[in-house]
Amino acid sequence: MGKEVTETDKKLAQHCVNCKICRYARKRQKGIIYSLIKIGEKFCPFCRAYEKVYGKKAYDTEQGNSE
């Protein structure tokens, strides 16, 4: 399969995990920031790596986040 997760992917995904903008979008799930992340994730290498490593979009809710 061509979707092996490399160490570089993990490092890039970690940047997305710590990104204030992405964290905000994952927490809020609405608003302009959320919309921008949905559009921008196609161009952001960190968001693409996040999807590859975690199997979900960078703007999807965090697991265990029950608000």
Does 2 map to a domain? no
Number of domains in the chain: 1
Q: Per the domain annotation, does 64 fall within a domain?
A: no
pLDDT tens, 13-57? 999 999 999 999 999 999 999 999 999 888 999 999 999 999 999
> For every residue of the chain, which 3-state class applies, written as one string?
CCCCCCHHHHHHHHHHHHCHHHHHHHHHCCCHHHHHHHHHCCCCHHHHHHHHHHCCCCCCCCCCCCC
What is the structure's pLDDT at 14?
96
Does any domain span residue 66? Answer: no
Which domain, by its residues, includes 11? 7-54
